[in-house]
Structures are given as C-alpha cells and as structure tokens.
Amino acid sequence: MTTEPDSPTTTLPGRPPVVDLATWQAARDELLVREKAHTHEGDAIAAARRSLPMVSLDGTTEVVGPDGPVPFLDLFQGRDELVVHQHMWHDGAPHQGQCEGCTWTAWHLRDAVYLNARDVSFAILTTGAWEEVVPFVEFMGYSQPWYSVRDLDAPLGGEMGYLSCFLRDGDDVYLTYRTTGRGTEPTNPSFALLDMTPHGRGEAWEVNPEGWPPGLDACWFWRSDADGVAGWGPTTRPVPQWTRPGATPVESLGRHGHHH
C-alpha cells in the first residue's frame, strides 16, 4: 500500500518529486527504454570484443606459485580459457599498505565456481616477490590461485591493474583482451547495486538532483580508518581488511609515493 501525497508535485528538500505509484511507473517505464538500449549496446560491444585479433604468447613462460616455477599453461588447469587479475604490488609494504584498488578487485573474485562451470579458469598475477605475497594472501583469506610474475614483461608482467583474458589451443596461448581503470568495474557487484540506489556511489563526479548530498572524491570507499571514516592516510587500510582478526589502526603504511 502506498500513501499518496497531497499534490503530485510535492517535493521534499534535496529530493526528487513525490508522486503516486502510477506516475512513478510511467517515469520508470520511460527509463527502462534507455536501460534496454544500454544493455543491447553492451551486447554489441561484447560481440566486437570477441572478434578482436589475438596475440600469440609463449605458454612455457614460467610464473612462480605455491609449487615453485610453473609454465603459464598450468594456470589454465586444463581448460581452454583463462581470466587473470593483475594485482599491483608495493615491495616491503605491510598488508594495509598494498593497493586498495587491487584489493577491491581481488576481494570480489574469491570464488571462480561460475567461471569454472563455463570452462574458464581464474588466477591472480602480481609483481610481488613470492615470499611477500604468501603472507598477504593468507591474511586476506584468499582462496584463488596466486602467482608472481616479478621478472616478466607485459602482458603477463610489467604494469599491473589489468583484467586480462587468454585462450588456449593445445599448447598455444593467446592474449585476447585486457582492460583497466573503470573497465574492471564488472568485478564489483557493489557498484551495480549502488548505481540503483537513490544516492548512487556518493562520488563528486555523479550528476544528482539539486540538493543531493555532496559526493566525495572517486574511490573514497576503498580505504577507511578504525571508525569507518573513509579516506587515505597513515591510519587507514583497505575496507575488507577491517574484517580480519586483529586489524588495528596503524601509525605508518610503510610505503612511499602513493598514486591515486
């Protein structure tokens, strides 16, 4: 049951108009046309993505994992397709000093069961030294396969922060797609849900109704202090880390040259 306002144009401070359900449904149906067009364009882009040319790679290139050096081919786990997240790394930094953006991505990709069901394997690559990576993975409670590509060139090593896709044909390996920046957003369903809410992501760049709460800088949600206050500083850590046992405020992140 809904309560109809005295006037269909009733407006609360800093809010869109309040209307009856039928008026709301009409406006919502109008937006649905745009949403469907957006979905169909996404389908067309995905089709174009699948038609991109491929780059041949040496599948025998070794990466370092729990069993020592293994050929990159092993990451396919016998499957024909592989998706990897390439996790940035700050040498010598404590857990709370590692990349908050990559933590954000890895946290949402802890289980690849649906990928595996479609004959797709998943792994995380990082330029971190293996002896530093192991305790971080244990601290975060990650269960995905992790590998160090410390001494390798792109596209396996080099610059991190990418999602990359590979195809295997026997012992032949091909790079088919990679993306970074906002291209990695599909890894985080929180974004899609926030985009449906009245206040959205709460970021300054968003277009909102007049009087809406002012947004914060992009990526504000990546880090917070012990009280849950968002921000980047010596007493903050990536948001998921506050769920870890013994996570306490710190005096220094133990790293230099932070880049947003």
pLDDT at site 10: 56
Q: Which residues contact 84 (CB under 8 A, 6 or more apart)?
A: 75, 122, 123, 124, 125, 163, 164, 165, 166
Low pLDDT (below 70) residues in the chain: 1-13, 254-260
pLDDT at site 209: 86
Domain ranges of the chain: 54-180, 191-206+213-252
pLDDT at site 61: 98
In the CATH hierarchy, which fold is given to the domain comprising 54-180? Glutaredoxin (3.40.30)
pLDDT at site 9: 54
Q: Determine the Cα–Cα distance for residues 202 and 221; give it in Å rounded to an integer.
A: 9
Looking from the CA of 177 toward its CB, the CA atoms found within 13 Å total: 16
pLDDT at site 91: 95
Q: Determine the Cα–Cα distance for residues 127 and 141; give it in Å rounded to an integer.
A: 19
pLDDT at site 259: 41
Give phi and psi for 199, each to the nearest 5.
Answer: -95, 0
What SS3 state is found at 165? Answer: strand
Is there a cis peptide before residue 8, judged by omega within 30 degrees of 0? no
The burial class, CB within 10 Å (0-12 / 13-18 / 19+), for 228 is exposed
